[in-house]
Amino acid sequence: MKIEGTHELHASPERVFETLIDPVVLQRCIPGCERLEKTGENAYSTTLRAGVGSIKGLFAGNVRLEDMEPPLRFRMVVDGKGQPGFLKGAGDLVLEARDGLTAVSYNGEVQVGGTIASVGQRMLQGAVKMMATQFFTAIEAEAKTEAHEPPPAHGFFRTALRWLSGLLRRKFRRTTQTTE
């Protein structure tokens, strides 16, 4: 299954890159992440609670970051398995400064098997897009904080409000650009 998308974050590429490779921040931002521990240089083990539709479960897996070019790009390789099935994949994340924002583009391939694959590709892609939106909304909140500030609170409702706020900002920015 191919996954791809772009999210615009209100923070510098350097700060966004820092948050994307910080395991403490990632554990707070990845939806359903219960554990993320460093096992080596740019390698982590994780426990994640996730599901699609009525098929839910606990996954244990590994994440490796490769081909790192701070603050421009890196490649992420993941594998995991749990009672509902398995996943294995890799993808590239590219950061680009645009008009005071950072555009984060991701593109990759994921293989999914087991019971979770039975829900179908469309439903899986919808779940992936929703989780990506929650993740990047939380990453943006983290990247906006300074190193000495406490981390922002996360959760479904806070993330949903941040997403809605970003959507309205983008809509009004487009509206004002077209009327000028």
Q: What is the pLDDT of residue 160?
A: 62
CATH of the domain at 120: 3.30.530.20
Q: What is the pLDDT of residue 157?
A: 58
Residue 169 main-chain phi, psi, to 5 deg: -60, -45
Domain count of the fold of the chain: 1
Q: What is the pLDDT of residue 39?
A: 96
Q: What is the pLDDT of residue 53?
A: 80
Q: What is the pLDDT of residue 65?
A: 96
Q: What is the pLDDT of residue 179?
A: 61
Q: What is the pLDDT of residue 159?
A: 60
Q: What is the pLDDT of residue 89?
A: 95
Q: Domain range holding 98?
A: 2-179
Calpha distance 38→45 (Å, rounded): 7
Write out residues in the chain with pLDDT < 50, as ranges: none
Q: What is the pLDDT of residue 55?
A: 87
Q: What is the pLDDT of residue 174?
A: 66
- Count Cβ atoms below 10 Å from residue 179 Cβ, excluding itself: 6
Q: Which two tokens stand for residue 7?
A: 């999210």
> Residue 76: which residues within 8 A CB-CB, separation 6 or more?
63, 64, 65, 66, 90, 91, 92, 93, 108
Q: What is the pTM of this model?
A: 0.81
